[in-house]
Amino acid sequence: MRPKACLVCAKPYFMGLEVFLKGIVIGLVASIPLGPVGLMCVQRTLSKSHRSGFVSGLGAATADSLFATVALFSLTFVMSFIENNMAVIKALGGISVVIVGVTIFLKNPVVQIRRNRAGKGQNLWSDYLSIFFITLTNPAYILIFVALFAALGDHAGDGTGNGLVVILGVLTGASTWWFLLTFCVGLLRRKFRPRHLLWMNRISGSAIVILGAAAILSIFFHTPSVHEMLPR
C-alpha cells in the first residue's frame, strides 16, 4: 500500500511539472520568431554586450508573461481595453519601433564602443524597460498565446495554482530563448569590426523601421479581435 500511497501523493507534483514544461514550450515557441524586438536585442548584443541584449530580452519575456496571463485567465476587462484602443496602441507601438529603428540606423558604433569601454554605455534598466514597453504595444501576441494554449490543451489554466505554474513556465522558456540567442550572438561579437557593426546598424535599423511602418499600416486592415480568438 505504501508505494501506491506515495504515487498518489506524488501525482500533483508530476502534474505541476507537466504544466510547467508546457509553459516552457509555449514561452520558447512564442519568442523564437525574430521581429523588431529580436532585432533590437541582437543589435544591442553586438553594439553593447551580451548582458545588455539579454536584459533587453528579459523585458520582452516579462511582457510575454503578462500577455500569457491575459490569454490564460481570459481577463475580459484587459481585453476590452485593448480592443477599444487597438488602433491607438498599434499606432504608438509602430511609431516607437520606427523611432528606435531610425536611432539605430543613425547610431555610430564607434561612439558606442568608446562609451562601453569608459563604462558609460551600460544602462540595463533602460534596456529592460524600453523593450518591455515596446513589446506591450503589440497586443496581437495575446492571440499567439491563445492559439498555443488551445493547441496544447489539457486545461493548463484550470485553477489558479496551475495557471501560475504555466505562466512561470512561459517566463522561463522565453528567458531561456533570449539567453541562448544573445549568448550565441555574443560569441560572434568580437569578430565584428566597427565597419561591420556600422552596416549591422544600417541593416537592422532599416528592418526595424519597415516592421514599425507595417504595424502602423495594419491599423487600416481588419484583424481578428481577442474575443473572436478565445476558445468558447
- Residue closest to 96 by CA, chosen among 64, 123, 134, 60: 134
Residue 40: inside a domain: yes
Residue 220: inside a domain: no
Residue owning grid cell 491607438: 88
> What confidence tens digit (pLDDT) does each residue in 11-31 have?
455 566 788 888 888 888 888
For 67, the domain range is 17-83+108-191
What was the pLDDT predicted at 1? 45
Kindly tell me if the per-residue pLDDT of 219 is higher than 80.
no
What was the pLDDT predicted at 232? 42
Residue 53: inside a domain: yes
What was the pLDDT predicted at 178? 94
> What confidence tens digit (pLDDT) does each residue in 189-211 have?
777 666 677 777 788 888 888 88
What was the pLDDT predicted at 229? 46
> What confidence tens digit (pLDDT) does each residue in 124-183 have?
888 999 999 988 887 777 777 777 777 665 445 555 567 788 889 999 999 999 999 999
What was the pLDDT predicted at 13? 53
Residue 156: inside a domain: yes
Residue 216: inside a domain: no
Number of domain units in the chain? 1
Residue 134: inside a domain: yes
Residue 90: inside a domain: no
Answer yes or no: pTM beyond 0.85.
Answer: no
How far is CA 80 from each of CA 92, 168, 232, rounded to the nearest angstrom? Answer: 18, 25, 17
> What confidence tens digit (pLDDT) does each residue in 80-120 have?
776 677 778 778 878 888 888 888 788 776 666 666 655 55
